[in-house]
Structure 1
Amino acid sequence: MSHTAHIRSHRKPRSRSASTIAMRAGVAGGVLSLAAAGASASAYADEPVTQTLELPALTADMATQVAQSADATQQAAANYQLQAERDAAAANAAKQAKADLAEAKQKAEAKKKAAEAARKAAAARASRTAERTTLSATGTNSSTSTATGSAAAVVSFVKAQIGKSYVLGATGPSAYDCSGLVQAAFKQVGISLPRVSQSQSTAGTQVSLSNLQPGDILYWGSAGSAYHVAVYVGDGMFVGAQNPSTGIVEKPLSYDPPTGAVRVL
């Protein structure tokens, strides 16, 4: 043992300030706190962490803005619907106007055709009246003309057949059709005419209805496509096989004005 072991030191002990002691105590305390925190974190490391978020409370201003936005959306939808209804109404109106215009055009066209038909009918009536007047005058002028020669023979033959029957396709002697009678009459004077009225209407020289002579062949319809023929006998009269109801008759030209006439003799 040292001879100085039990001798107290004469050095004064270092005085530690309170701040130094407090700092060291704080550091120690912090270390202990970190250790405790680490132990706590290690203890709960395996447990899931649930986090709850709190939404901000709906204030009065926000509620007002939401309501205004909803009103605006509703108003926009109403405006769109109203515009759609207006567009549909305009389309329907345009469609109806188009249909009305087409109908009006059809009615106008029908009226125009009716007016044209009435005009033509009036012109036809006036023409027939003029023809009757002309034929009556012709008959008066022809009353002084006397058939002679072959024409007299033709006139005499057709007058002798008055009262006999009309039979389609018949050529005599007891019955005739219109062209059969004309053919038979001219056969008496040695002239061979075609069998049908269409051909007989072009068998001679075309003559005016205002310059008829006894023995001329009258026809109804167009030359070359006539549907009826007869013989002019003078004095504004003709003899023909008219139809099954009347048979062979003598009638004035005004009874049924012919279309034209041909002269064979």
Structure 2
Amino acid sequence: MSHTALIPSHRKPRQSASKSALRAGVAGGVLSTIAVAGAAAPAQAEPVTQTIEMPTITAGLSTTVAASAEATQQVALDLETQAQEDAAATTAAKAAKKAKAEAVRKAEAKKKAEAAAKAKAEAAERASRTAERTTLSAPSGSSSSGSSSSASTASAPVSSSATGSAASVVSFVQMQVGDAYVPGGTGPNSWDCSGLVQAAFRTVGVDLPRVSQSQSTAGTQVGLGNLQPGDILYWGSAGSAYHVGIYVGGGQFVGAQNSSTGVVQRPLDYDMPTGAVRIL
């Protein structure tokens, strides 16, 4: 017996043909897979040339853009409207300035015309007063009849019923015709309406109140159809009259009317009074 006969052999036993074939098939498949993968690798490295399409803008974004455009348009419209308003305001201001200047010019022209008319009226009143005073102071034919002639001349503008104190009152106010009208005036050459009436009655010893309101209730109320020379005429209501004068007969009165006319003698229908009171 060989000395090695009992030593186990370290050689692997031979595998069967079927196992070898199986392993060869598996190995071949793996190698085939690797080969296919290797062949496919270069194709994947080719650059991408396909265009990527971006998603469509949503409806909400479209609405926002439309609202922004509308707001911009509104701002532009507001600016245009403001510009038109500013232009209109400028035009109106120029027109107003021109109208004001024209109104001032017309007012000045009217004032000058009124001043000229006033001066002409005053000149005419002075001439009239001079003529009347010349007539009243004209000398009589004889000294014996001087007094009666003077009385007759003084009473000429007055109705025949004017006698005594009434005739004196009438004579006094007629002598002041042509004097100036001045608010608060009490003579001797300028008067207001109640100042003239008060002074006329003072010549016959009657002390009247100073203002027209009180003078309109100082005597007995009489109707305008029953007037007598020397009656006080008033305009406005009794107790609150704003103007007074003296009835001188013949449908006429004397009064200090205003600063334009001064003291004048006029028919009643020139400025019809409201009522009258009788003192004498």
The TM-score normalised by the length of structure 1 is 0.46
Q: Which has the higher contact order (CA 8 A, sep 6+)?
A: 1
The TM-score normalised by the length of structure 2 is 0.43
